[in-house]
A and B are shown apart, each in its own frame.
Chain A
Amino acid sequence: MTLLRFAIRDMSADWRRSLTHIAAIVPIVAAYLILNAVAGGLRDEAVAVEAQNIVLLSPNALDPAAGRLAPEVLDLVWEVGGSDVASATPMIFRPIRMDDRVVQLRAAPRSTWDSIHDLTLLSGSWPDNRDEIVITEGIAIATDWNVGTQAEIFGTTFTVSALVRAPGTKFASVWMDFERADTLFEGQSGFQIVTVEPAEGADHFDLLSRLDLASGGVFSVYFESDLAEQQSARKGAAENLAFVATVVGVAALAFGGFNLAAIALTERHRDLGIARSVGFSRGSIGAVALLRAAVLAAIGFVIGSLSALLALSATSATTVRSFVFQADIQPRAWILGAAITIGVSAIGTLVAFRTTTRRPVRSLLETG
């Protein structure tokens, strides 16, 4: 206990060095936790296999929201598909800003929401006027919106009339009637997706092949389930990237913590010599150095964690292109981060301690 008090007294007396030490740990911890949360959010987003609809997208679009299809595409679908097509509906798909949040908007003819897009009403009611929208569970989780919430889109106030469940890539989206969206965006948006519902008894694969042949490179053709898998794969790639970033964060945390502890001890070589000369054993000095490093690392970790929480709470939903997800710091990230921060500080202290305490008193005689 005396050694702990001594270590704390030493830290407070040497507060500038202590603050510098903590300040160096804080951003590393915060970056590590935020990266971990983003990786976790990408990993956790729900992906389900959807019905066997066919979707047409602009080719080579990394993100569906970046594409734009010409109105003639709808005519081409009917021309090529003929009686094998039950319906062909356009969808506006774009990220929009609502009350300072970026969310994924999907606008399709209202009549297709439940029949083709598999939206299931959870609470509220389907829109019955042009300024009503519905939100999915993913949006409700990522924001605090619910039925009755009013939000502004492109300068117009909309009211959330229903909370719905949507499968797969639609999990976190805001839904609006196509005509209303087209009017809202003044026809500038065009549409990004055409959803083709094969007629009953039609050969889905044959229809997909014919549409693909007729596309002429103007659009790409997928089964909706395949698209879900592709988008899932893209998210997987993003998740891998976030994981790599997390590993880099962990390494930075480990290396940074190690160096900070080592430098702090090396800088105080003379003080170690003084302590040895008055009779402190190597063990006692090591214990004080370890306690000091551990306490500073712990303080740095707490402040870094609070910074990460603050940063994540400032944006309740994280957006990567048009995918919206919630970035939460997982308990294992806290535990791993705390263990790494304190552990590497201790290791850095021990390694530096081994080299700086071999002949510490000599420094008192030589350097003054």
Chain B
Amino acid sequence: MAPAHVVHARGLTRAYRRGAREVEALRGVDLDISPGELVVIMGPSGGGKSSLLNLLGGLDRPDGGTLTVAGVNLTTSSQGELDAFRRQHVGFVFQFFNLIGTLDAAENVALAHVARGEGWSSARAQARETLEELGLKDRVDHRPAEMSGGEQQRVAIARAVAARPDLLLADEPTGDVDAATTGAIMELLATLNRDRGMTIVAVTHDPTLAQYASRLLTLSDGRFVG
């Protein structure tokens, strides 16, 4: 039976030490996200958005509280279990695309399959299919430096969804592209959400993204407000 919530978090806390100072990034966050939601989290810089995203993606562990994503208890998972969790359940989209510059688009996307233990040839073939589905057929053999910012971000999205994750996490996905491209990127995410039923959590400063959200949350000073 599929879990009722893709994300189920209670009382999440996370603090970081910056020099002699301890910064409380999250101060008891509760969050439930159902399958198929497109949740946009907004809020000021330093409000805890990226920290929450890191926890949801299994890149970091909470100091307190409980967190279950796609049925996996991330509070108690070992490092190996977190690696496996990332391989099987989540995809990441970053603000600065974060493609490997020496690999072409198909190879960048293929990484998601190789990480799951698939052979290189099979991974590359599947990557080409994904890129074609996302309208990047002509950019399959291009390296990041040969593509525009919007195209790079779409390749990054293709990589994130290539392995059909339960949850797509996007950290400022339009933060490094122009206004026209912002619309195209968000349309793509909305299409993935609508057509594939993909659950998406996007963190952003951009208020125009709110129109794409099925739910809008504001995180400030480590807590959801409003």
Assembled-state Cα–Cα distance A365/B118 (Å): 28
Assembled-state Cα–Cα distance A282/B86 (Å): 12
**Which of B94, B163, B176 has its CB near the most chain A CB atoms (within 10 A)?**
B94
Query: Contacts of B84 on A, CB cut-off 8 Å?
Result: 279, 281
A20 at the B interface (CB under 8 A): no
Q: How many residues of A contact B (CB 8 A)?
A: 26
Across the interface, B115 reaches (CB within 8 A) one of A9, A10, A275, A282, namely: A275
B100 at the A interface (CB under 8 A): yes
Closest chain-B Cβ to A113's Cβ sits at a distance in Å of 69
B193 at the A interface (CB under 8 A): no
Please count the residue pairs between chain A and chain B whose beta carbons lie under 8 angstroms apart in the complex: 82
Are B94 and A6 touching (Cβ within 8 A)?
no
Query: Contacts of A280 on B, CB cut-off 8 Å?
Result: 83, 87, 111, 114-115
Are A5 and B102 touching (Cβ within 8 A)?
no
Interface hits, B147-170 → A, CB 8 Å: 159, 163
B92 at the A interface (CB under 8 A): yes
Interface hits, B66-106 → A, CB 8 Å: 79-80, 83-84, 86-88, 91-92, 94-96, 98-100, 102-104
Closest chain-B Cβ to A267's Cβ sits at a distance in Å of 12
Interface hits, A110-125 → B, CB 8 Å: none
Assembled-state Cα–Cα distance A5/B59 (Å): 27
Closest chain-B Cβ to A129's Cβ sits at a distance in Å of 71
Across the interface, A10 reaches (CB within 8 A) one of B57, B99, B103, B116, namely: B103
Are A278 and B159 touching (Cβ within 8 A)?
yes
Main secondary structure of the interface of A (DSSP, over half): helix
Across the interface, A9 reaches (CB within 8 A) one of B86, B107, B116, B119, namely: B107
Query: Contacts of B99 on A, CB cut-off 8 Å?
Result: 274
Are B115 and A284 touching (Cβ within 8 A)?
yes
Assembled-state Cα–Cα distance A9/B114 (Å): 13
Query: Contacts of A6 on B, CB cut-off 8 Å?
Result: 114, 120
Are A277 and B120 touching (Cβ within 8 A)?
no
Interface hits, A134-181 → B, CB 8 Å: none
Q: A6-B114, A281-B83 are in contact. Are A271 and B100 (CB under 8 A)?
A: yes
Are B92 and A278 touching (Cβ within 8 A)?
yes
Closest chain-B Cβ to A195's Cβ sits at a distance in Å of 70
Assembled-state Cα–Cα distance A368/B112 (Å): 20
B50 at the A interface (CB under 8 A): yes
Q: A5-B120, A278-B92, A365-B94 are in contact. Are A14 and B159 (CB under 8 A)?
A: no
B54 at the A interface (CB under 8 A): yes
Assembled-state Cα–Cα distance A203/B51 (Å): 98
Query: Contacts of B95 on A, CB cut-off 8 Å?
Result: 365, 368
A364 at the B interface (CB under 8 A): yes
A314 at the B interface (CB under 8 A): no
Q: A364-B96, A365-B94, A368-B176 are in contact. Are A278 and B102 (CB under 8 A)?
A: no
Across the interface, A279 reaches (CB within 8 A) one of B103, B116, B120, B171, namely: B116
Closest chain-A Cβ to B12's Cβ sits at a distance in Å of 18
A94 at the B interface (CB under 8 A): no
A188 at the B interface (CB under 8 A): no
Binding site for B on A (CB under 8 A): 1-2, 5-6, 9-10, 13-14, 270-271, 273-282, 284, 361, 364-365, 367-368
List 8 A-B residue pairs with CB atoms under 8 Å apart, sorted by A's residue number.
A2-B123, A13-B102, A273-B98, A279-B83, A280-B115, A281-B80, A365-B94, A365-B95
